[in-house]
């Protein structure tokens, strides 16, 4: 591997709170180690369009607290083509960029891994996704902030649910994973949590609501991950509504992209800063095609091909927590 003197940094895929903190850390860690750092705007699209500019320390001042990503992010179908990747490579060479740091999730890392092997450019990924579904790290940048956003929203919805004797189905992000739904469900005292990793039994849910739960409370919250196998919050609510007579009303709230926004939490700012520094450190140590994460408070480098979301599993104990925490006398044996 040639000596690394110039590195490029980009954000790709869905944005997450804390990405700016990670960019800031990469830039300042690079400068600290005598490197020049170049920001690539709009992800792989910007790499193809040569939207590449050198970043200095002052360029990343006052971005630590901002959500989103000041480098912007975009999806690029051209990067999936041989011609697009070749143009991206030629633009990197114009700026004499020796290595890349990619802040993003599964799809971004797959593209980075392929590009790195195709053109022999060292790449390190930093996990930035509110889904927290990347294998090789306990936490991804943005997850903690999104989790607190969901908890705050559900707490507010519970107030109005109680005032109007309503049952709310609240849909949160999580197309392929239920980490956000599960943790927020425990934190808000949800009556049930429906996630992609566990089969949803509508009949059991109806039985729980009709025969047991309704005798204990006058309102309720059910958290649904958008990728739940029963079809999402609206479909599940319609299926339940056919036979449900115990509430004055059933409502659905889809939190949507509000979960991605907002100023990052202190935890996400610290995590992003830590991972940004260790991404630069990893490149200087000769590491490539790995994702830098944190496991048991220690930096860990995992091969990108192993870091995909399909390898990270929810803790079965957390699923059981929902049942345990909703137990009443003579409660039905209900487990999602």
Active centre residues (catalytic)? 131
CA dist., res. 122 & res. 24, Å (int):
20
Contacts of 62 (CB under 8 A, 6+ apart): none
Q: Which own/partner pairs from 207-213 qualify as long-range (CB within 8 Å, at least 24 positions apart)?
A: 207/332, 207/334, 208/332, 208/334, 209/167, 209/240, 209/244, 209/246, 210/243, 210/244, 210/245, 210/246, 211/332, 212/328, 212/330, 212/331, 212/332, 212/334, 213/326
Instruction: Give yes or no for a contact between 24 and 276, defined as CB atoms under 8 angstroms apart.
Output: yes
CA dist., res. 62 & res. 57, Å (int):
11
Beta strands, E only, 135-219: 166-172, 192-194
Enter the DSSP assignment of 263. Answer: P
Rounded to 5 degrees, φ, ψ at 107 are -65, -40
Helix (H, G, I), strand (E, B) or coil at 225: strand
Shortest CA distance to 119 belongs to which of 75, 88, 94? 88
Shortest CA distance to 187 belongs to which of 206, 172, 202, 201? 172
**Triad 205, 213, 215: Cα angle to 5°:** 145
CA dist., res. 87 & res. 49, Å (int):
8
- CA 72 from centroid of its chain's CA atoms: 17
Enter the DSSP assignment of 199. Answer: -
Q: Facing residues of 303 across strands?
A: 290
């Amino acid at each position: 591997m040639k000596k690394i003197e110039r590195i490029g940094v980009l954000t790709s895929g869905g944005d997450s709170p804390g990405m700016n903190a990670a960019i800031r850390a990469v830039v300042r860690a690079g400068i600290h180690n005598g490197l020049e750092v170049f920001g690539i705007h709009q992800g792989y699209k910007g790499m193809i369009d040569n939207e590449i500019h050198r970043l200095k320390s002052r360029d990343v001042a006052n971005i630590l607290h901002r959500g989103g990503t000041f480098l912007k992010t975009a999806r690029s179908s051209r990067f999936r083509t041989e011609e697009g990747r070749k143009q991206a490579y030629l633009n990197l060479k114009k700026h004499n960029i020796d290595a890349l740091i990619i802040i993003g999730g599964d799809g971004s890392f797959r593209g980075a891994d392929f590009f790195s092997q195709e053109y022999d450019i060292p790449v390190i990924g930093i996990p930035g996704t509110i889904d927290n579904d990347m294998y090789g790290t306990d936490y991804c940048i943005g997850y903690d902030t999104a989790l607190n956003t969901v908890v705050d929203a559900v707490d507010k919805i519970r107030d109005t649910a109680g005032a109007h004797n309503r049952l709310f189905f609240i849909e949160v992000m999580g197309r392929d994973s239920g980490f956000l739904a599960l943790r927020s469900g425990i934190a808000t005292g949800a009556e049930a949590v429906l996630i992609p990793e566990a089969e949803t039994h509508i009949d059991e849910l109806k039985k729980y609501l009709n025969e047991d739960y309704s005798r204990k409370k006058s309102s309720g919250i059910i958290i649904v991950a958008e990728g739940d196998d029963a079809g999402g919050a609206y479909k599940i609510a319609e299926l339940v509504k056919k036979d449900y007579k115990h509430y004055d009303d059933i409502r659905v709230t889809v939190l949507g992209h509000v979960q991605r926004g907002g100023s990052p939490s202190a935890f996400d700012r610290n995590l992003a800063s830590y991972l940004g520094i260790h991404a630069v450190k990893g490149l200087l140590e000769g590491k490539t095609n790995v994702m830098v994460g944190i496991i048991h408070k220690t930096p860990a480098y995992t091969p990108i091909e192993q870091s995909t979301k399909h390898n990270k599993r929810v803790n079965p104990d957390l699923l059981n927590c929902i049942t345990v925490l909703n137990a009443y006398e003579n409660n039905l044996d209900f487990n999602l």
